[in-house]
Structure 1
Amino acid sequence: MSRRVVRQSKFRHIFGQPLKTDQMYEDIRVSKVTWDSSFCAVNPKFIAIIVESGGGGAFMVLPLSKTGRVDKNHPLVSGHSAPVLDIDWCPHNDNVIASASDDTTIMVWQIPDYTPVRSITEPIVTLEGHSKRVGIITWHPTARNVLLSAGGDNVIIIWNVGTGEALFVLNDIHTDLIYNVCWNQNGSLISTTCKDKKVRIIDPRKKLVVTKSFDEPIVLQEMDTSNGVLLPFYDPDSSIVYLCGKGDSSIRYFEITDEPPYVHYLNTYSSKEPQRGMGFMPKRGLDVSKCEIARFYKLHERKCEPIVMTVPRKSDLFQDDLYPDTAGPEPALEAEEWATGKDAGPLLISLRDGYVPLKNRELKVTKKNILDKRALQGPRRSYSTCDSSLSRTVLEELLEEIKSLRAMVQGQEKRISELEHKLSQFTNGTS
């Protein structure tokens, strides 16, 4: 008789379980926009969910600990003039999130550690360059302030958020709608899927497709995806890919290896209700004391349900084999270094003692003054020497007035922030 040999893997018995009702987020009007993004983004501090809103687009941000029923008047992040289609937390600053919208813009927001008493309507910076809706955004994994966006114009733009400028524009690679974009681990390449049924590996700094060998897959895994698109989430620490079908009620997971057959089916987590979207927690946000190797945030029509994936272990000790050093919150490169060709892998941290999120750090944006350029170029072409001298004087006065008004506004914003913080302390009973 022949015996079937079962492949050995420490991940064969991953156990998925939803958290209890009091640990869910309830009474949330999840967006009904028919778009293929996950509609949810999480990090060790916050959960952000794209929601229904009148008069434009908005998303809600909640501290992870703010479970239970959400107040219907909870402040939103609302600055877009059309529906928000995608959101993504900055991997190097847990208080910074980017949003992409049907209004063709990308906005980057600073989220305070305390809960504001009114909606946040002023982004740190607005990025404008797409001619059609922007449906995909994703931050660079290792370089500070580098953000990628892809729009319905079939264009990919890579931005330096710290200056508000486009670093690279890839406008002649895709001839049809871009479905998804992701970075490799050190951010030297991107992978895209497109409506033309092609997968491309692209060097974004050279603006070139660098591989042509995708005619035949090395392995093909057939799946029932009749209910909607698949949302893939990959954990490089464990080499596990999780596939969540939008409109489906299950999460299938596979282990990836370097030898044939390369893809190994592990198991399926199933539930009764379909998911409208899904958030995936970075590894540093997991509870290592409970052998948690993944955590999902499943969107229903009116709530968000956390689902925990664990590897059962009898020992209470830290499990080194489950938690190799993982990507930390510090960037390995500055945007300018990456733009000039430098690459670096993520800076790793140990999870042995757990991870404590860093305190609020502000994102600084330094824009070039376009008025200075106009002052030098405009008058010389349009006026006589006398008029040019006069207009330069007027312009200097205007610049001084703008500078004064900006300082006044910044002072008032600081005062408002201080008062909000004091109010939140009274509300939370700390004063």
Structure 2
Amino acid sequence: MSGRFVRASKFRHVYGQQFKKELCYENLRPTLSAFDSNLLKCNGKYIALNASGIGSVIVIPVTETGKAPEQVPMFRGHTGGSVLDTDFDPFDDQRFVSCGEDGKIMIWDIPQDYTFIHNDPKKIQDVKPVGELVGHTRKVGHVVFSPVAKDILASSSFDYSVKIWNVATKKCVMTLQHKDLITSFCFNYNGTKIASASRDKHIRVWDVRSGKLLCEGKGHPGAKASRIVWLGKSDTLFTTGFDRYSERQLALWNANDLSSGPIGGFYPLDSSSGVLVPYFDLATSLVFVAGKGDGNIRYYEVADGKLYDISEFQSINAQRGIAFAPKRSVNVKENEILRAYKLLNDNSVEPVSFIVPRRSEMFQEDIYPDAPAGIPALTAEEFLSGKTVDGPTLVSMRDIYDGAEKPSTKTAEEEEKEQKANEVVPASVEKPKEASTKKVEAAKTKISAPPEKTEPAKKVEAVRPVFTKSQEQGVDAMLNGKTVNKLLEKVENASDDDTQDVDADNEEWESVEVNESEKKREEKKKEEERKDKERKKEEERKMEEKKEEEKKVKAKEEKKKTEDQRQTEPPKLTKETKVGAKDDATVAKSSKKAVGLKANVEKLQTLVEKLEGTVSTLIEANIAKDEHLRQIESKLDQLLNHSA
């Protein structure tokens, strides 16, 4: 694969971070069905999980983490089998659909006050569907909403067809008939085409509104299920599948020329048996691949028509299923580019956050281009009538960083009128005092508003505040300073002739602000240096303590060894013994003040007695040895005489 060589990429160091146990979802009861689907979906606000039992779905708000109680509300409506797949409406966070073995597609509305954990066990009520789509003759395996048009849904079934539905009217508007079971399908970026992979080992591209087969070609040669995704705005498809020997492989395809085979051939992966689930992130051009039964999630970068291996997230917890949240729900302030939810074998769901490490705390524009906003670009009627758009309605990720959740839905004329109404009158025309007062009020409004709950811009906010976005940090500290208070008083008390003074004050504001930021940076730098010095001193102190302990242990061992030798080896009446006695006498003399003369005499007497005992023992040992030698000699003489 091309990724074997190190590629210069800003996503080279992307890493996955597992959430702590208390932020996971535990004690769930997922389905035991072996059908090949993701088993769970997420829209950033809720998680929908195929539940065990007949026709039921579990819906969990992402904020309600922890262990689920034994009794929870269920979404029940299917009859005669399990739920096989779900999908959230991309333009309505409270709506999702499910399909199952009964051949029906159910439409659900999540109650506004819905909770999964905080319920009275005696008052728990199951949620019923608000509608159903009937038209397939066998099991329905997959459902996917259109990325651009409201109420346009596609579904695949065991009757070898993909049907396009108008959810509002509950009618099927188009049927794409295949020759075998569909294992995966997806919309293109503007929702006008569908690419499908089926069990007959073919890949097809269809026109959604006319039902025409645009292109067809042979896919992965293996018998196991293939998955397919469209790579954003391009005409390139990405698939996962198996070869004839059941080894997993990846491939890129030209959506306009499938018959020519994969671009650059198949990319072999490994010999595991789990189906690979792909997900493409348009903002980063990264493809994330998670294998069922694997603990890891691989990610690749698509560039110049090639697939480059970037890295992988490794975990000991294998996933049964996986879901990926929309881009607009990621934590932009932490440089999170994607969030995945893994269904584990212990019946829990574990979130995994993929982060691009950056030192700067500012908004990272290069990794956060505009993302789908959750607002339909077309109605169902416009889409079916043939109207086409370039893609989904987008939201600026900078707005999400600043606190706004969704972009304005006003028309261009309304925005133009509002802009004219909110234009600031130049200082030469407007009264200086009014201009300065407006600036002060705008600054105060900007300062007092919490950063995380900033609402979309209103008319009053059209006046540009004194502070820029890059200078918002540390504003509270500046307001408490004497210089800033003095400036505020000066601006508020400005007269009609104070225009130049106010302008000068603006410069003074900015200089104060810059000085404050520089001070903060210097203080932060000094604090870091101080911490580094303390850390180094602590390490040196620990090293010295460790060396001292090692010396003490070594001294103890040597002392113990010396004592053992003294106990095992009897002393000899030699010069060394005399020297030792002299040393003992010297020691006794040095400790004269502590023990006294009497103690020294007793000690010497004890030592003499020990020496006499040792001499007696040695003499007896020599006598016994001589006697033993005589006995051996006599026995040898007897043996020699006997042999003679």
User: Could you say which TM-score interval applies, normalised by the shorter chain?
Assistant: 0.7 to 0.9
Q: Tell me the alpha carbon deviations over residues 185-231 of structure 1, each in whole angstroms, 9 at most, x when there is no partner.
A: 11010110000111111112121221242231103211125231111
Q: 1:319 to 1:280 in 2, by over 3 A?
A: same
The alignment status of 1:304 with 2:335, answered yes or no, reads no
Deviation, 1:248, is 1.5
Counterpart secondary structure, 2:28: coil
**Correspondence for 1:196:** 200
Counterpart secondary structure, 1:80: coil
Deviation, 1:152, is 0.3
Give the residue type in structure 2 aligned to 1:267: S
Q: Tell me the alpha carbon deviations over residues 21-67 of structure 1, each in whole angstroms, 9 at most, x when there is no partner.
A: 010000001211001111111112111111112xx121111111100
C-alpha separation in 1, matches of 2:341 and 2:44:
13
**Correspondence for 1:42:** 42
**Correspondence for 2:71:** 73
Counterpart secondary structure, 2:333: helix
The equivalent position to 1:294 in structure 2, one of 329, 333, 338, is 338
Aligned residues: 349
The alignment status of 1:222 with 2:268, answered yes or no, reads yes
The equivalent position to 1:239 in structure 2, one of 259, 268, 285, is 285
1:38-187 aligned within 5 A: 38-53=38-53, 56-81=54-79, 82-115=81-114, 118-171=124-177, 174-187=178-191
The equivalent position to 1:278 in structure 2, one of 306, 310, 322, is 322
Counterpart secondary structure, 1:29: coil
The alignment status of 1:327 with 2:325, answered yes or no, reads no
C-alpha separation in 2, matches of 1:23 and 1:144:
33
Give the residue type in structure 2 aligned to 1:237: A
**Correspondence for 2:576:** none
Equivalent pair of 1:138/1:149 in contact (CA under 8 Å): yes
C-alpha separation in 1, matches of 2:278 and 2:112:
30
Equivalent pair of 1:43/1:281 in contact (CA under 8 Å): yes
Equivalent pair of 1:87/1:100 in contact (CA under 8 Å): yes
Q: Tell me the alpha carbon deviations over residues 138-196 of structure 1, each in whole angstroms, 9 at most, x when there is no partner.
A: 0000000111010000011111101111111223xx11100001000110101100001
C-alpha separation in 2, matches of 1:340 and 1:266:
43
1:347-362 aligned within 5 A: 347-354=393-400
Q: Tell me the alpha carbon deviations over residues 262-308 of structure 1, each in whole angstroms, 9 at most, x when there is no partner.
A: 11111111111211100101000100000000111000131000001
Equivalent pair of 1:201/1:210 in contact (CA under 8 Å): yes
Equivalent pair of 1:293/1:310 in contact (CA under 8 Å): yes
Counterpart secondary structure, 1:337: helix
The equivalent position to 2:209 in structure 1, one of 196, 205, 209, is 205
Q: 1:337 to 1:120 in 2, by over 3 A?
A: farther
Give the residue type in structure 2 aligned to 1:65: T
The equivalent position to 1:250 in structure 2, one of 276, 296, 310, is 296
C-alpha separation in 2, matches of 1:307 and 1:239:
19
Q: 1:357 to 1:68 in 2, by over 3 A?
A: farther
Deviation, 1:105, is 0.3
C-alpha separation in 2, matches of 1:224 and 1:32:
26
C-alpha separation in 2, matches of 1:238 and 1:311:
10
List alignment gaps of at least 5 residues for structure 2: 217-256, 407-644
Structure with the greater alpha carbon radius of gyration: 2
Give the residue type in structure 2 aligned to 1:104: G
Give the residue type in structure 1 aligned to 2:27: D
**Correspondence for 1:377:** none
Counterpart secondary structure, 2:382: helix
Deviation, 1:6, is 4.0
C-alpha separation in 2, matches of 1:293 and 1:191:
26
Equivalent pair of 2:320/2:342 in contact (CA under 8 Å): yes
Give the residue type in structure 1 aligned to 2:199: K
The equivalent position to 1:266 in structure 2, one of 303, 306, 310, is 310
C-alpha separation in 1, matches of 2:300 and 2:7:
13
Equivalent pair of 1:44/1:357 in contact (CA under 8 Å): no
- Runs of at least 4 residues off by over 3 Å: 116-121, 355-358
Counterpart secondary structure, 2:308: strand
Q: Tell me the alpha carbon deviations over residues 339-386 of structure 1, each in whole angstroms, 9 at most, x when there is no partner.
A: 12112211100121426668xxxxxxxxxxxxxxxxxxxxxxxxxxxx
Q: Tell me the alpha carbon deviations over residues 365-409 of structure 1, each in whole angstroms, 9 at most, x when there is no partner.
A: xxxxxxxxxxxxxxxxxxxxxxxxxxxxxxxxxxxxxxxxxxxxx
Deviation, 1:238, is 1.2
C-alpha separation in 2, matches of 1:29 and 1:11:
36
Q: 1:143 to 1:225 in 2, by over 3 A?
A: farther
C-alpha separation in 1, matches of 2:175 and 2:314:
41
C-alpha separation in 1, matches of 2:380 and 2:46:
25
TM-score, scaled to structure 2: 0.53
Q: 1:35 to 1:225 in 2, by over 3 A?
A: farther
C-alpha separation in 1, matches of 2:159 and 2:146:
21
C-alpha separation in 1, matches of 2:46 and 2:127:
18
Bigger share in strand: 1
Give the residue type in structure 1 aligned to 2:365: D
Counterpart secondary structure, 2:267: coil
Counterpart secondary structure, 1:276: strand
Higher relative contact order (CA 8 A, sep 6+): 1
C-alpha separation in 1, matches of 2:70 and 2:365:
43
Deviation, 1:122, is 2.3
Deviation, 1:249, is 1.4
**Correspondence for 2:17:** 17
Give the residue type in structure 1 aligned to 2:159: D
**Correspondence for 1:412:** none
C-alpha separation in 1, matches of 2:215 and 2:179:
17
**Correspondence for 2:423:** none
List alignment gaps of at least 5 residues for structure 1: 359-431
**Correspondence for 1:315:** 360
Equivalent pair of 1:47/1:63 in contact (CA under 8 Å): yes
Deviation, 1:5, is 7.7
Equivalent pair of 1:108/1:126 in contact (CA under 8 Å): yes
C-alpha separation in 2, matches of 1:188 and 1:154:
21
**Correspondence for 2:566:** none
**Correspondence for 1:427:** none
C-alpha separation in 2, matches of 1:50 and 1:352:
35
Give the residue type in structure 1 aligned to 2:296: S
Give the residue type in structure 1 aligned to 2:14: I
Equivalent pair of 2:7/2:308 in contact (CA under 8 Å): no
